[in-house]
Structure 1
Amino acid sequence: MVLGFALACVILNVVPGPGMMFIVAHGISGGRRSGVMAAAGMASGTVVHTVLAALGLSALLRAAPFALDAVRIAGAVFLLYLAVNALRSARATAAQPNQVGARKSLRRTYLSAILTNLANPKVVLFYLAFVPQFLTPHGWAVSTQILVLGAVLIAIGLVMDGVVGLMSGTFSALLLQRPAFERWLKRISGVIFGGLALRLLTDHH
């Protein structure tokens, strides 16, 4: 059960999705540390989803489909906010942030990733439609099985997303050796955030 689920998680993480694009956008605009912090935030958001699923709240969302639409719209609004901020930053004069500012930026990236993950209805649907296929009526309690499978998903996602964050951050660092690329990198990240927002608004499951 666990091995089959782990293989499925690897395949799912290889396919680019909103989470991966969010990480790439932060890696491009903020460098390696920002990309890895975005991956950590995504993993933390999945922890919350896992606990809620184990507590049975996913079943409540299934009984109230309109709640998924509310979550989807809230996530799109938040991503549009990130897109606007990125585009504004592209216009601003580049300045070297001090160490405190860098820490605040990383915290903001981490929290933004958590909120983006929590606002993604696809994660909720994953726990509603996919995880139950790997549950068994024998042995551990269903809530325990969900927690174990969630831990597998989180571990695999963190490793794979962390690699994506490092790679996009490395790419960004190489381009930033030429100052003219900085504004374009921020514009690209803004376009990615905006594209993710439109995808949420137009995706009706």
Structure 2
Amino acid sequence: MEYSTLGLFVIAAVTLIIIPGPAVLYIMARSIDQGKKAGLVSALGVSLGGSVHVLAGAIGVSAILMTSATAINIVKYLGAAYLVYLGCKTLFSTSDRTTSEMTQAPRKKLVKIFYQSALVEVMNPKTALFFLAFFPQFISPSAGSVTVQFFLLGTIFIILALICDGLYAVLAASIRQRILDSKVNSKLQNRITGYFYIVLGVFSALASPSKT
């Protein structure tokens, strides 16, 4: 893959990752409730679960795209449409939860937290759909093996997400009482996330079809 493509992917991935989503809020909740170690273990578990989706996606997308020269473009258009759908759904979400309401997670041992976090992520179909929608936008059959490209992008994404999640866990642990006492409304987060998904989806659609 070209370095420019990888650079664009990293920029888009980092922008997506730093916006707190359900996984980050879960990790922060663990960190606030049980301390930094619990938060970091949760981040590791989520990363393991995400890795399973990456592996499955790499195999599945490769099998699909090898069936037709135009399949990559179909996948990209469907992916772009799904990103716009995610944006609209998030943007018009009526959720009005506060940070303090998201920290009511029952206490568990670190080993259980790790496996629970991994299982929750593995069983989350939204993660798989997101990877299938996002990664193909940066994949080109002419650049080599689709499987290798998907796996490479997935590995980069998981590493970046793990670093970011770990930082959120440390941050939450360091200011746990302040966060517990806060009344941060989720509507602003929904707006920011929703608009970004829509912009990313439109950009992806305009960038398709790719050269094959």
Pair in the same fold by TM > 0.5:
yes
Call closer, same or farther: CA 1:168–1:59 in 2, change over 3 Å.
farther
Call closer, same or farther: CA 1:136–1:126 in 2, change over 3 Å.
same
Residue 86 of structure 2 corresponds to: none
Q: Deviations over 1:57-85 (max 9, x none)?
A: 7989x9xxxxxxxxxxxxxxxxxxxx987
Q: Give the fraction of aligned pairs with identical amino acids, expressed as a percent.
A: 33
Where structure 1 has 5 or more consecutive residues not aligned to the other structure, the ranges are 63-82, 90-103, 176-180, 186-205
Give the TM-score of the pair, scaled to structure 2.
0.59
**Structure 1: distance between partners of 2:117 and 2:158:** 14
Residue 109 of structure 2 corresponds to: 105
**Structure 2: distance between partners of 1:168 and 1:35:** 8
**Structure 1: distance between partners of 2:138 and 2:113:** 33
Call closer, same or farther: CA 1:151–1:171 in 2, change over 3 Å.
same
Tell me if structure 1 keeps the 8 A contact 2:33–2:105.
Answer: no
Give the secondary-structure state (helix, strand or coil) at the position aligned to 2:141.
Answer: coil
Residue 169 of structure 1 corresponds to: 173
1:157 aligns with 2:168: no
Residue 135 of structure 1 corresponds to: 139
Greater shift, 132-141 or 49-58, is seen at 49-58
Return the letter of the residue paired with 1:138.
Answer: S
* Runs of at least 4 residues off by over 4 Å: 57-60
Residue 42 of structure 1 corresponds to: 46
Q: Deviations over 1:122-154 (max 9, x none)?
A: 211112211111001113210100100001101
**Structure 1: distance between partners of 2:159 and 2:142:** 25
Higher share of residues assigned helix:
1
**Structure 1: distance between partners of 2:124 and 2:21:** 11
Where structure 2 has 5 or more consecutive residues not aligned to the other structure, the ranges are 65-74, 76-102, 181-212
Q: 1:32 aligns with which of 33, 36, 45?
A: 36
1:26 deviates by: 0.5
**Structure 2: distance between partners of 1:147 and 1:168:** 31
1:6 aligns with 2:10: yes
Give the TM-score of the pair, scaled to structure 1.
0.61
What RMSD over aligned residues (CA atoms) do the two structures have, in Å?
A: 3.1
- Structure scoring higher RCO (CA < 8 A, sep ≥ 6) equals 1
> May I ask how many residue pairs the two structures share in their alignment?
142
